[in-house]
Structure 1
């Protein structure tokens, strides 16, 4: 006791450490800090008893509450699966044409279709569904549809695909190759007439005659196209393969015909319905087809 040294200004005992003339005081911890520390110790003990805490050789301590993060995740996943199942069941019994009558169901279908599109469709149509003109993948945001743009027509195309030999109901349209039949001046005249249908060139009388003899049957007298044959419109500003003279001439001489997988055997019906709803919602989709007054009556799949 007699060896204790007290700092007179503070009344605090020195601990006896000195460094370069600087000495350390044995200042006691603040009471609030000590009580906080004791509380954390108590809380740690309670936590160890209630929750998993100590790792052992094969597994950890379980805690008296029996709670685990794995168990919580399993419960949340189960709840999410039940919600999705309920949505899919409701979607399965709702005709696509009736989706606008249920705003929540339509919103969920579009959201689900967007996710499915990112998995199955972006490889060709792009993440924004803008397609690829060079490769002939159509833009799904515009108003041009080779086979129809109402939701039923879109669904049919998704199910059966385009030019798929393994699907008996696939959409199939053909265009003959005119290489060797239409060449030189006749080809130039026909290209002039085709471009003139969308005001991209001056009218060509000779080309109009060639068009009427060889093209009007499928593409229409004024280039309005035909969804029965999948023949594109030629009198608007939307071009699947490009609107340059070279692109039009190449398509006349050696047409490049697109293909699309048939997803009917690959995807669940609910997923196909969601994809149809999403594609229809992109902006170019046409009005929902009216259905019979009795909702139980089946609507023909063929647009």
Structure 2
């Protein structure tokens, strides 16, 4: 079983109950669709909080986004103000998602493989055009702010989501099928939020609400993803959507102490000093059991390091941390005796 990575220990909830908590949460979320009562939404939010503090592997972007929208439905605010916040959240998501893609890791590890797998195009000599994707996403986010450009932005962002859905289809070959419903939901959210009459929202805000308070909240929310650069805000809560940024970690054993399928292991490739060792691909393990990748956070890597070191004190593993998201390029090697990663 893939190790739990708790934020805080919750001894009153045994590990076995977490699976039942997940099913109960799904039931509660389904119930809110047919019976949109605030009490059901608050129960769902409490269950989500219990789940995410019990395991950081659940800190996926859709969990964060759905929780924000659920919270705004659960509190007593006017529908016009709620819509105002919804639009601000969506703008922030798409802006930072595009901004984080402005790097060569996105080009080399996301854009080029995507063009090859989906459209059978080999573009290593023209990879500079890949920067057009994040720029379009940023401009589409900016277009959501203005009534005259909202329709164009909606069409651009919808096209982007449909292409992503094509990528995770059997034709595209991407196995991360958990994001299929998420992309469909995002299309629905931008449709319902930006095809309503935006002109009625701003005047009502100015008349009935303290505009400075709400502006301050939105500014803080917009700036939070920038804290990721100094490791003070979670990777996925910063809206890294296939950005190519981040790191990956593997565990290296001379003698495996855990029975794992062969496809959980990496080839040694350029790791000549570990040719006779077993290199555990932690992301592949996580995908197989949890259907989610490991959030590329150093704090999470440290917890994994401590787990595997405590698991095998007589068979001390090594840890390889690649500086890219898919086990390529430069890397660093650590042992259990190293205090920092």
**TM over 0.5, shorter chain:** no
TM-score, normalising length: structure 1: 0.23
Instruction: Please tell me whether Structure 1 or Structure 2 has the larger radius of gyration of its CA atoms.
Output: 1
By percentage of residues, which structure has more helix? 2
